Amino acid sequence: MLSEQPIQSIRKTIQGYEKEDKAYIAVDCIIFGFDLNEEELKILLVQRDFEPQKGEWSLMGGFLKKDENLDEAAARVLYQLTGLYDIYMEQLGVFSEIDRDPADRTVSIAYYALINIIDHNQEMVDHHSAQWFNLSEIPRLIFDHNKMVNSAIQRLQYKASVQPIGFELLPEKFTMRHLQKLYEAILQRELDKRNFTKKINALDILIKLDEKDKESSKKGSFLYTFDKEKYLQKRAEGFVFKI
């Protein structure tokens, strides 16, 4: 059998894959943030300030380097724009149409990130001419970036309903209203307040603090935090998050 193998099969394994084509590998990030004042879910876009397509909006991106894997590249790209690290990110998928990038054959891997919107470094964001956009007001983006955004929204809707990742978009302490408005923004439908509270309380993964948020009303509303320890414990015992 071995003697029948074409020589390049052996070359492939031992010396590399010289006969194959290479391509550039990019990473593009859909960065989600939740604006607590407007109660709107937003994404952070950068404006190209060089030709061609100067002035057009784009996802923040970068190229995969020799010495990093894709998760690392995505984290690096996010850091470059926001100054944030240790952020929840998830790979969405690969976009590989031949001419998606007119400059050169590049396949791009889309990632989405969930950040607490007030944490980002405003200077770095300004430096990239970046801006937050409501989901309903996303402009036309370069290349196939609108497809990536749509894919990210879909994935977020699914993921947020089966894993407690919504908290990544909120500050450490939040009110029940914040949480509900967040899920309404993600799922793009209104939720019943009493049923929502009931469901969240039944999950039993929040800690109700003694503290109140007095911003929104005279009465004030109690603040909560996500009890990650408890969630992990429960999950280990077979509990599944579901909203």
Comparing CA positions, the residue from 163, 165, 129, 148 lying closest to residue 56 is 129
CB of 106 to a copy of itself, least distance (A): 7
Residue 236 binding result from a copy of itself, DNA, none, given CB thresholds of 5 to 8 Å by partner type:
none
Residue 219 binding result from DNA, a copy of itself, none, given CB thresholds of 5 to 8 Å by partner type:
DNA
CB of 146 to a copy of itself, least distance (A): 18
Please enumerate in sequence order all residues whose Cβ is within 8 A of that of 68, keeping only pairs 6 or more positions apart, or say none. 76
Residues found near a copy of itself in the complex (CB under 8 A): 1-2, 5, 9-10, 12-17, 20-25, 49-54, 63-71, 91, 93-94, 96-98, 103-107, 109
CB of 14 to DNA, least distance (A): 53
Q: How far apart are CA 1 and CA 124, in angstroms?
A: 59
Query: Which CA distances in Å does 120 have to 82, 107, 117, 153?
Result: 5, 28, 6, 21
Residue 194 binding result from DNA, a copy of itself, none, given CB thresholds of 5 to 8 Å by partner type:
DNA
Residues found near DNA in the complex (CB under 7 A): 175-177, 192-195, 197-199, 212, 214, 216-222, 242
Residue 140 binding result from DNA, a copy of itself, none, given CB thresholds of 5 to 8 Å by partner type:
none
CB of 110 to DNA, least distance (A): 30
Please enumerate in sequence order all residues whose Cβ is within 8 A of that of 44, keeping only pairs 6 or more positions apart, or say none. 31, 33, 60, 81, 82, 120, 125, 130, 131, 132, 133
Between 94 and 118, name the residue whose CB sits nearer to a copy of itself.
Answer: 94
CB of 25 to a copy of itself, least distance (A): 6
Residue 225 binding result from DNA, a copy of itself, none, given CB thresholds of 5 to 8 Å by partner type:
none
Comparing CA positions, the residue from 131, 123, 165, 143 lying closest to residue 42 is 131
34, 169 Cβ separation under 8 angstroms: yes
